[in-house]
């Protein structure tokens, strides 16, 4: 007599696969919607937390399914493995956030000048929605920044101020920083992009006494020479030993986290001092995003001005 053994089915493993698939899809749609779409960051954080929670539940159910496979040879091992793979991305992003939360100071902005930070031309203001309201940065937070990022200091360059200005603008463009406002200069384009002037049309007003051939020799357009490079309002004010402040905005490269950036250029004696202030637009804790942004900008500026950096 043949005895047939019916293997049980692990419903936990199948549920884990479905929940993990939902978590992965939610994570992907949320990332795309925030990086390239109109999804605001508070909703982005909320949806990512939901995705990570679903992924964690899926991993627990997958572990139950694998245990049932080991104990009673239940069907569902493949579903459990798929669930673990699907849940990897949401849990990895959540784990990265937790690691930065515990290893970075709870601040949302950094500045290279702690005693006299550059002042915002337009104070950043964003709806926090469900995130807690932010307070102004105090001395304890400035000290926490210094303890966590001691290398984040002002840069002094022993070179012409107009060359430093050119490098700042170039690094800002390369870093995808859009300058939205400038103080100390009356420039139409704060980003420094040269805009050619329109050519003037010469109106032909020939009197009856004039020779027709002479009028015909006159050109229709007279070219107007464009100004020499860096002879704009910003560069002129720098030459007068005044501060120039550029305020811009940017998004991080991968997650698209919005930040406000302030760059101050100050000429002192024969050197030029550059300070930067970066603030995350949402939340009380930026998980080190502002410091990474400022450090990356300063390193790129040092590389651009290699050879003229002072002590």
Which DSSP symbol is given to 228?
P
Q: Does 276 have pLDDT greater than 50?
A: yes
Which DSSP symbol is given to 286?
-
pLDDT > 70 in the chain, percent = 78
With tokens 């909703």, the residue in question is 43
Tell me what pLDDT residue 163 has: 85
CB 257 within 8 A of CB 41: yes
Angle at 46 between CA 41 and CA 48, to 5 degrees: 90
pTM, whole model, 2 decimals? 0.76
Tell me what pLDDT residue 117 has: 92
Q: pLDDT tens for residues 217-253?
A: 555 544 444 444 444 555 554 444 468 899 999 999 9
Q: pLDDT tens for residues 70-116?
A: 888 888 899 999 999 999 999 999 999 999 999 999 999 999 999 99
Where exactly are the structural domains of the chain? 11-103, 109-191+227-304
Distance CA(205)–CA(125), nearest Å, equals 56
Q: pLDDT tens for residues 183-192?
A: 864 444 556 6
Tell me what pLDDT residue 190 has: 58
Tell me what pLDDT residue 192 has: 60
Mean pLDDT of 268-284: 91
SS3 of residue 195 by DSSP: coil
Dihedral sign computed on CA atoms, order 296, 299, 305, 306: negative
CB 114 within 8 A of CB 142: yes
Enumerate the β-bridge partners of residue 279.
Answer: 109, 260
Tell me what pLDDT residue 248 has: 95
Structure tokens at 204: 């032909």
Distance CA(41)–CA(88), nearest Å, equals 22
Tell me what pLDDT residue 3 has: 67
SS3 of residue 61 by DSSP: helix
Distance CA(158)–CA(147), nearest Å, equals 28
Alpha helices by DSSP H, listed for 189-311, are: 212-216, 233-239, 289-304
Chain-centroid distance of CA 294 in Å reads 10
The residue length of the chain stands at 311
Structure tokens at 135: 């307070």
Fold of 109-191+227-304: TATA-Binding Protein (3.30.310)
Tell me what pLDDT residue 210 has: 46
Structure tokens at 297: 């900008």
Q: Which residues contact 53 (CB under 8 A, 6 or more apart)?
A: none
Angle at 127 between CA 291 and CA 175, to 5 degrees: 35
């Amino acid at each position: 007599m043949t005895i047939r053994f019916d293997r049980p089915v692990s419903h936990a493993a199948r549920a884990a696969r479905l929940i993990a698939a939902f978590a992965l899809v939610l994570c992907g749609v949320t990332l795309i919607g925030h990086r390239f779409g109109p999804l605001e960051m508070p909703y982005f954080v909320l949806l990512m937390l939901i995705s990570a929670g679903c992924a964690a539940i899926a991993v627990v159910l997958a572990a139950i399914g694998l245990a049932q496979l080991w104990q009673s040879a239940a069907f569902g091992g493949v579903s459990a493995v798929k669930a673990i793979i699907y849940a990897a991305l949401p849990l990895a992003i959540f784990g990265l956030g937790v690691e930065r939360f515990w290893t970075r100071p709870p601040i949302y902005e950094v500045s290279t000048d702690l005693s006299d930070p550059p002042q915002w031309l337009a104070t950043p203001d964003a709806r926090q929605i469900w995130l807690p309201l932010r307070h102004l940065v105090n001395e304890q937070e400035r000290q926490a920044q210094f303890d966590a990022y001691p290398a984040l200091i002002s840069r002094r360059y022993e070179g012409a101020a107009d060359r430093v200005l050119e490098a700042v603008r170039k690094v800002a463009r390369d870093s995808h920083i859009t300058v939205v406002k400038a103080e100390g200069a009356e420039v139409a384009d704060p980003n420094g992009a040269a805009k050619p002037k329109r050519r003037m049309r010469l109106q032909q007003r020939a009197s009856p006494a004039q020779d027709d051939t002479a009028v015909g020799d006159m050109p229709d357009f007279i070219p107007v020479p464009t100004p020499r490079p860096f002879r704009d309002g910003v560069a002129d004010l720098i030459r007068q030993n005044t501060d120039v402040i550029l305020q811009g905005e940017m998004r991080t490269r991968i997650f698209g986290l919005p930040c406000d950036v302030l760059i101050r250029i100050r000429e002192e004696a024969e050197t030029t001092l550059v300070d930067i202030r970066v603030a995350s637009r949402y939340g009380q804790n930026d998980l080190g995003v502002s410091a990474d942004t400022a450090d990356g900008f300063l390193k790129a500026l040092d590389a651009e001005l290699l050879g003229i950096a002072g002590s």
